Amino acid sequence: MTPNSDTVTRFAPSPTGNLHVGNIRTALHNWMYARKHGGRFLLRLDDTDQARSEEAFVTAIRHDLGWLGLTPDGEARQSERSHLYEAHFEALKQVGRVYRCYETPEELDLRRKVLLGRGLPPVYERGALALGEDDHAAHAAAGRAPHWRFKLDHDAPIAWDDLIRGSQHFDPQLLSDPVIRRADGSWLYMLPSAIDDIDMRVTHVVRGEDHVSNTAAQIQMFEALGAAPPAFAHEALLVGSEGKLSKRLGSLGADHFRELGIEPIALVALLARIGTSEPVLPVSDVAPLIESFDFANFGRAPARFDDDELKLLNQKIVHGLDYDAVAARLPVDIGAAGWEAIRPNLHTVHEAADIWSCVTGPIAAPPFDDDTRAYLATAAEQAASIDWAGDPWHALTGALKESTDRKGKMLFLPLRQALTGRDSGPDMAALLPLIGSARALERLRAAAQG
């Protein structure tokens, strides 16, 4: 598609909790689509639920998007736009597209059960439309305020060409007229969202497939408001590694991934591609992900999110990170050579300090038997005489191979244990020059003495 500066996407979270991995995926795809097409990506805080919205969650949402590099080109808050909703609401009242209702949740639930028991769809039957002004006055006198529904046009079939799901068709008679305003005057999601999309000139709405029926109703809202609806892309929902919808996914947020030491680009690389026909790759930059982003590659099957896949991807990405990219997050005494030495053994950058301790010490070598201590005493003597300016590891092991009958694991493992306190770790040829002759001799002699 040719880049289009008129392209506008939006991410519209409710600040009633922290972002979870499904929210993050939605934000990412909106951001990527806007970036690919030279458009704008907006953050809209849907904070009409004043009782549950918290400023701490607003701050957290901004922080998480920033951590991922998903910088918005603009921000708006629904709580500051009520005058706009009131104006459109009054216009819809004038043309009879909204109406007052008084049923309680219990009454509606009972009616749904009755309809289901009769084998009928549990659709709101519009009983409130039969109320006259005297009825409304009686409710008002009794102190009972109405909630408001948007009246769907039953004679206008709803259809759109979804960018992922293809041709979509809904019979409005099988949809309930959506409640758009509570009895206390506060707004529900549906109408303010459509009004904002019109006002902000949103061209593409990317969201989960659980919003498909909402979209069907909102398309008629756009039309009633005198605007063409945006293009819609409804993604398959994320499922856990077991292949089922998981409540756990709702608790996995950016804080969780940061605590695991996951690189932002690793989470972006995985969420950009799972659920598509494109392979998940350990990229170091988001540019190739943006370039290849295409809703034609998205499948209808649920997108499987696997922690283990993310951790493996993160490990591969860490192994490709240059020193300059991580220097600010490393202990001050790890230079470029140190990073090159320990990098192949890291799963996360967070592990660098622990592995680096085998260089700086102190270390705790395991107890050795008499024969091994004698071998390490010989190693200390050889280490004192080799050329440390070249390749001390191969010089030391070569000399020991000639002067002892050891080879393979018997030759190398006691040296690693005595020099690092570990059974495994970074390549000793890279590590030993960083340990240095003084520390190496001290450690070998200490191990030989037991």
- Binding-site positions for ATP read 247
E strands in 48-129: 74-77, 98-101
For 172, half-sphere exposure in the C-beta direction (CA atoms, 13 angstrom radius) is 19
The token duo for 142 is: 């009794």
Q: Give dist(CA 365, CA 447) in Å, integer.
A: 7
Question: From the CB of residue 74, how many other CB atoms can be counted at a distance below 10 Å?
Answer: 12
161 burial type by CB count under 10 A (0-12 exposed, 13-18 middle, 19+ buried): exposed
Binding residues: 247
Distance set, CA 154 to CA 189, 211, 344 (Å): 22, 20, 63
Q: At a CB cut-off of 8 Å and minimum separation 6, what does 57 contact? A: 15, 16, 17, 18
β-pairing verdict for 8-11 and 40-45:
parallel
Please check whether residue 286 is in contact with residue 265, taking contact to mean a CB–CB distance below 8 angstroms: yes
Q: Give dist(CA 13, CA 239) in Å, integer.
A: 20
**DSSP code of residue 184:** T
